[in-house]
């Protein structure tokens, strides 16, 4: 080899080494151990972060997004150990609001940041008591109607027998905790007379568009693709698509606006035509009108008022309690007008927790029991 | 060619440009908006029709968002009232706005004041800057922004 050739080869090798070093430097090299979830210890690193980067803002994403992807459902607390052995314990009900994971692997806690070496997740005891999922409802309704489940469905039939028709009664924002409180306070005489609901769980993030997509497709957000607020449609097959394909009549009575597109249903919107500031009375009137003409094969009815009041005045405020009473009474009128041999599924899409924000006293959207747990009633009339 | 003929020729060209939408600088968009329901004459407007109609500006209005920070924005477009009037809508209780992807909303009459069918967002054609939120959007300043229906294709008038 000549001197010139050797020099060229050396330059080439140095260039390749430089390229390798540069590319390694582009990929943040951090990792911590996640403990306490299904599969024992798991390594979380930049690859995990990168797989969720569509949820990131300004280089950080909610820690709960990572935790949900790793199998967490409802949590109690987190214990974080940093690289120097320091330990910080977080009450998850508080920490879910602010803990973020930076692209650089730092755990950002608002006024502090930590380089985690390990995070121990303590799951809520509620998790072991869960009896059903929001994505089981598609399989349940399909089973009762004798039609196939939506193609992506991973849900299980919650025990429905064949029925002549199915009513899906959607109580927006009426989470399991609020149901229990309302029961204790005597706000829901109609629902109280029913058998105890299943302790159900919705999908993350617990917001209406995502939950409705899970409800109708029968699966979880990573599969149906509606993973954040602001997405109002899915290309995945829904319960309504399947029912319509089978020649069934599908009617959806909604409030004044769709939270999620209801392709395949004959849509009846219920604007505030009487100007009383709410739409639940209009939803009730439209539903009773539908039933008076004859129960369709699949009827979907969505009450928004509990959620609206929960956001505005917070769970437990007087006008929110009034709304719960109103919706409970509306459920009673609908059940009375419903023909026999119908399957009834009453459910919420998410819960609500108190906040103290400008213009808002209640919110939802976190991986906490109060937001994630929902009641699901399944019974035959 | 004398001066008078030149003027006539220029006026003719200008009229042609306006009629084809070129005068407004509007993008070439295949979109229609129908006004239906309780009206004496249902009408359908193309994007070009809308682009050459009288435009109004909603400057510095608050865009109240369900997520993230509220934003002060400016929108330009055709007054909804004008379209309703042309279709012969009288008093009404609500309007139902339907979007191309199946989204729908029913708005009480009291919340439709100053509403426009917006073609521009902060001076830019929606069709150019955020085509997935356009090319036209119902902007109702009296409601939160999640009620501002984008990709709107039909406005139904309900007595």
Q: Does pLDDT of B25 surpass 90?
A: no
String of b and e for A105-135 (b: at least 16 CB within 10 Å)?
bbbbbeeeebebebbbbebbebbeebebbbb
Residue A234 touches partner B, C-beta closer than 8 Å: no
Burial (Cβ within 10 Å: 0-12, 13-18, ≥19) of residue A354: middle
Q: Assess if residue B100 is contained within a domain.
A: yes
A176: nearest Cα among A378, A372, A379: A372
The DSSP letter of residue A197 is: P
> Are the Cβ atoms of A269 and B104 closer than 8 angstroms?
yes
Q: What are phi and psi of A176, to 5 degrees?
A: -65, -40
A261 → chain B, closest CA residue: B103
Residue B70 touches partner A, C-beta closer than 8 Å: no
> Are the Cβ atoms of A275 and B105 closer than 8 angstroms?
no
Nearest CB neighbour to B103, from listed A261, A271, A273: A261
Specify the DSSP element, H or E, that contains A283.
Answer: helix A280-293
A274: nearest Cα among A299, A251, A253, A256: A256
Cβ contacts of A117 within 8 Å, gap of 6 or more: A32, A33, A81, A82, A83, A85
C-alpha B149/C-alpha B107 separation (Å) is: 11
pLDDT-derived band at B22 (thresholds 50, 70, 90) equals very low
pLDDT-derived band at A134 (thresholds 50, 70, 90) equals very high
DSSP 3-state of A300: strand
- Mutation for testing the A interface, residue in B93, B104, B145, B153 having most A CBs under 10 Å: B104
Provide the pairing of β-strand A353-357 with A360-363: antiparallel
CA distance A281 to chain B (A): 15
By percentage, how much of chain B surpasses pLDDT 70? 82
pTM above 0.95, yes or no: no
Average pLDDT for A292-308: 98
- Mutation for testing the A interface, residue in B38, B63, B96, B102 having most A CBs under 10 Å: B102
> Residue B93: which domain range?
26-158
Residue B103 touches partner A, C-beta closer than 8 Å: yes
> Are the Cβ atoms of A272 and B66 closer than 8 angstroms?
no
Q: How many domains does chain B have?
A: 1
Nearest CB neighbour to B104, from listed A267, A272, A273: A267
pLDDT-derived band at A232 (thresholds 50, 70, 90) equals confident
Tokens, residue A353: 């927790």
- Mutation for testing the A interface, residue in B62, B63, B97, B106 having most A CBs under 10 Å: B106
Start and end residues for every CATH 3.40.720.10 domain found in chain A:
130-380
The DSSP letter of residue A256 is: S
Residue A212 touches partner B, C-beta closer than 8 Å: no
How would you write chain B as a 3-class SS string? CCHHHHHHHHHHHHHHHHHCCHHHCCCCCCCEEEEEECCCCCEEEEHHHHHHCCCEEEEEEEECCCCCCCEEEEEEEEEHHHHHHHCCCCCCCEEEEEECCCCEEEEEHHHCCCCEEEEEECCEEHHHHCHHHCCCEEECCCCCHHHCCECEEEEEEEC
Nearest CB neighbour to A273, from listed B67, B93, B147: B93
Q: Assess if residue B125 is contained within a domain.
A: yes
Bridge partners for A379 per DSSP: A344
pLDDT digits (tens, 9 = 90+) for A5-49: 666 676 666 666 555 555 544 567 899 999 998 767 889 999 999
E strand spans, chain A = 31-37, 40-45, 60-62, 75-82, 87-91, 100-102, 107-108, 113-114, 116-123, 132-133, 165-171, 198-201, 250-253, 266-268, 298-303, 342-347, 353-357, 360-363, 373-380
> Are the Cβ atoms of A273 and B66 closer than 8 angstroms?
no
CATH code at position B54: 3.90.420.10
Q: Does pLDDT of A337 surpass 70?
A: yes
User: CATH code for A130-380?
Assistant: 3.40.720.10
């Amino acid at each position: 080899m000549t001197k010139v050739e050797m020099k060229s080869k050396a330059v080439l090798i140095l260039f390749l080494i430089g390229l390798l070093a540069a590319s390694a430097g582009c990929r943040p090299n951090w990792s911590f151990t996640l403990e306490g979830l299904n599969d024992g210890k798991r390594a979380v690193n930049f690859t995990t972060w990168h797989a969720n980067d569509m949820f990131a803002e300004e280089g950080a994403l909610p820690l709960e997004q990572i935790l949900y992807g790793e199998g967490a459902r409802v949590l109690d607390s987190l214990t974080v150990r940093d690289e120097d052995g320091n330990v910080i314990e977080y009450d998850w009900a508080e920490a879910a609001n602010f803990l973020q994971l930076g692209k650089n692997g730092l755990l950002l806690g608002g006024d502090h940041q930590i380089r985690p070496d390990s995070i121990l997740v303590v799951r809520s005891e509620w998790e072991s008591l869960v009896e059903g999922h929001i994505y089981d409802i598609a399989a349940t309704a399909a089973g009762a109607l004798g039609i196939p489940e939506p193609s992506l469905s991973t849900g299980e039939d919650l025990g429905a027998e064949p029925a002549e028709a199915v009513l899906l009664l959607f109580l927006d924002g009426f989470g399991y905790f609020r149901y229990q409180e309302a029961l204790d306070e005597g706000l829901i005489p109609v629902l109280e007379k029913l058998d105890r609901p299943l302790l159900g769980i919705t999908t993350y993030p617990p917001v209406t568009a995502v939950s409705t997509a899970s409800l109708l497709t029968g699966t979880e957000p990573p599969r149906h693709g509606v993973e954040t607020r602001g997405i109002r449609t899915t290309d995945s097959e829904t319960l309504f698509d399947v029912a319509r394909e089978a020649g069934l009549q599908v009617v959806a009575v909604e409030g004044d606006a769709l939270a999620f597109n209801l392709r395949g249903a004959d849509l009846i919107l219920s604007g505030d035509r009487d100007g009383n500031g709410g739409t639940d009375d209009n939803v009730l009137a439209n539903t009773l009108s539908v039933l008076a003409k004859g129960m369709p094969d699949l009827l979907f009815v969505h009450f928004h008022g509990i959620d609206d009041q929960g956001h505005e005045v917070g769970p437990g405020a007087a006008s929110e309690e009034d709304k719960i009473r109103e919706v409970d009474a509306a459920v009673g009128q609908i059940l009375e007008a419903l023909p026999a041999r119908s399957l009834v599924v009453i459910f919420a899409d998410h819960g609500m927790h108190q906040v103290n924000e400008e213009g808002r006293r209640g919110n939802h959207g976190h991986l906490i029991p109060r937001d994630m747990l929902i009641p699901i009633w399944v019974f035959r009339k | 060619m004398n001066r008078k003929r030149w003027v006539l020729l220029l006026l003719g060209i200008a009229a042609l440009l306006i009629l084809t939408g070129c005068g407004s600088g509007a993008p070439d968009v295949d979109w229609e908006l129908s006004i239906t329901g309780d009206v004496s004459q249902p009408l359908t407007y193309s994007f070009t029709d809308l682009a050459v109609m009288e435009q109004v500006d909603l400057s510095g209005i608050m865009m109240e968002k369900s997520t993230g920070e509220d934003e002060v924005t400016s929108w330009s477009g055709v007054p909804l009232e004008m379209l309703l009037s042309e279709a012969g809508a009288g008093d009404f209780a609500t309007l139902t706005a339907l979007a191309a992807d199946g989204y729908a909303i029913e708005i009480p009459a009291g919340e439709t004041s100053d509403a426009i069918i917006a073609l521009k967002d902060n001076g830019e054609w929606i069709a150019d800057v955020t085509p997935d939120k356009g090319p036209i959007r119902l902007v109702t300043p009296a409601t939160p922004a999640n009620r501002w229906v984008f990709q709107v294709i039909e406005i139904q008038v309900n007595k």
